[in-house]
Amino acid sequence: MKKWILKAVIQKAISWLPASQNINFLFQKYVTKGVRLSDQYFTDKLVHASDHLMYFQNYRKTESFKALELGSGWYPVIPVALFLGGADEVVSIDVSALMKRKGILETVQKFLSWQEQGKLKDLEPYIQAERLEALKKLNNPALSGAQLLEGLKLTLQVRDARKTGFEENHYDLICSNNTFEHIYPNILLPILKEFQRILKPGGVMSHFIDMSDHFAHLDDSISIYNFLRYSEKEWARIDNNVQPQNRLRLKDYREMYQQSGIDIINENYRPGSVEVVEQTELHPDYTSYTSEEIAISHAHLVSTK
């Protein structure tokens, strides 16, 4: 049995169990090794953080700001970077409470270790000296999770992003990091509309999207377009609730932004491989897309209000 099929079967089974997110965490940590704070994972998140801060400073010049992150995950890499960049308030929301004290402290220590080694070069232009000193004080195993969060000006919340309850025009920056692809379109569209409501006039939204088949990250016998071979019904049988994949292409996200009244002011994307797309037997559901539209594998969308 191929690795991706085995993972799909296991995660499907996990999704039916109580505390499925916690069980999936253990599965990914000890079996697939997908939730470790590895150097590669940390590097990827630092790139995201640097871009969030760069575009934020380009379009909204302020030394202090309020930020909202969608998709907390297990390690607060982006929130720590935003803290170092001057955020007075960072709220990170998710559908499940995944982050633990150990992961928070490990992230703090990783930042400090890399800073000492001179490996935060992309982030350095945005780091405020007094915040770096404050971060050093948090490198203390005696601190509780609540104390670490308070020191980072970070609040973790399990909340429905479609109806946040936050005040209108509250946040200067709203960001996410490879989260949109896990949200089905009927849920993502109202989330975008809600984010536009709570974003301040002149505020910035910055969202990274990974449109590749995530099963291909584990199994190199399939391409990143493998999941496009299946019909909607077939994919529903394969997909799961602990790590769902909506299979949307950049064209679809653009349309949802337009429906939400959000103007994209900067768009970067990886073109992917048209050759691989044309070698893949795509399901007829995708015949309305060009090979180039299908091929795009990653995108970064920046918008202002």
Mean pLDDT of the chain: 93
Q: What SS3 state is found at 301? A: strand
Domain span at residue 59 reads 37-204+252-268
Q: What is the CATH number of the domain that holds 261?
A: 3.40.50.150
Is 132 a member of any domain?
yes
Q: Buried b / exposed e across 15-42, counting CB within 10 Å, b at 16+? A: beeeebbebbbebbeeebebbeeeeebb
Looking at residue 168, its amino acid is E
User: Average pLDDT for residues 8-21, to the nearest whole number?
Assistant: 65
- Please give the structure tokens belonging to residue 9: 């079967």
**Is position 244 within any domain?**
no
Q: Confidence band (pLDDT; 50, 70, 90) for 8? A: low
Instruction: Calculate what percentage of the chain has a pLDDT beyond 90.
Output: 83
User: CB-based burial of residue 281 (10 Å sphere; 0-12 exposed, 13-18 middle, 19+ buried)?
Assistant: exposed
Band (pLDDT 50/70/90 cuts) for residue 22 is low
Confidence of residue 98 (pLDDT cuts 50, 70, 90): confident
* Residue 33 pLDDT exceeds 80: no
What distance in Å separates the CA atoms of residue 79 and residue 70, rounded to the nearest whole number?
Answer: 11
Q: Answer whether residue 67 is part of any domain.
A: yes
Tell whether 23 is covered by a domain.
Answer: no
pLDDT of residue 29: 57
Inside any domain, residue 297? no
Tally of structural domains, the chain = 1
Q: Quote the pLDDT of residue 53.
A: 98
Residue 170 lies inside a defined structural domain of this protein? yes
- Asked whether 68 and 91 are in contact (CB, 8 A), the reply is yes
Q: For residue range 250-296, what is the model confidence (pLDDT) as tens digits?
A: 999 999 999 999 999 999 999 999 999 999 999 999 999 999 999 99
| 220 found inside a domain | no
The residue ranges of DSSP E strands in 230-277, in sequence order, are: 263-270
- The length of the chain is 305
Choose among 172, 145, 165: nearest CA to 89: 172
Largest Cα–Cα separation, the chain = 57
pLDDT for position 96: 87
Give domain status of residue 18, yes or no: no
DSSP 228: G
- In this structure, are strands 154-158 and 199-210 parallel, antiparallel, or unpaired? unpaired
